[in-house]
Amino acid sequence: MQDEPYIPMATELGWYWLSFADPNLPKGSQWLGATVECGSSSQAAYFAATMAKRNPGGEVQIMGPIPDETIDEFCPPEARQRLITDRAELERAVGPTTSEADAASSVGSTS
């Protein structure tokens, strides 16, 4: 009998920052929103945002996992797991954000 191959399972959840942008839109309107999602990986966090209708489309840039010891400092609980599309509201929740050009440089597409 052959041994089953070892497949590592992610058992710990982490928080991930997802920022959405559409570089095809006019300058000044490319950023579509951001959310902080929980998942066992960046892909799981992206899937959670998509299933909960917190994915506005475009391209996504994902950061994380955000360390447990700094998540409350980085993003208060009331700002997590919801799509924030107003930059002023986002800055009130998490502080100054990156430029739209940074947000538009993505690591994946939601098309």
Overall number of domains in the chain? 1
CA-CA-CA-CA dihedral for 40, 45, 51, 55, to nearest 10: 180
Give the predicted TM-score (pTM) of the model: 0.75
pLDDT, residue 10, reads 53
Average pLDDT over residues 27-53: 95
Give one word for 30, left, alpha or beta, with left for phi > 0 and alpha for psi -120 to 50.
alpha
Q: Is residue 1 part of a domain?
A: no
**Is residue 36 predicted with pLDDT exceeding 90?**
yes
In a domain, residue 48? The reply is: yes
pLDDT at 44: 95
Residue 7 lies in a domain: no
Q: Which tokens sit at 36?
A: 């902080």
Could you tell me if residue 3 is inside a domain?
no
pLDDT attached to residue 83:
96
Q: How many whole angstroms separate alpha carbon 62 and alpha carbon 46?
A: 8
**Structural domain contains residue 31:** yes
Residue 2's pLDDT is what?
58
Q: What's the pLDDT tens digit per position in 91-101?
A: 888 777 654 44
> Whole domain around residue 32: which residue ranges?
14-109
Type of residue found at 60: V
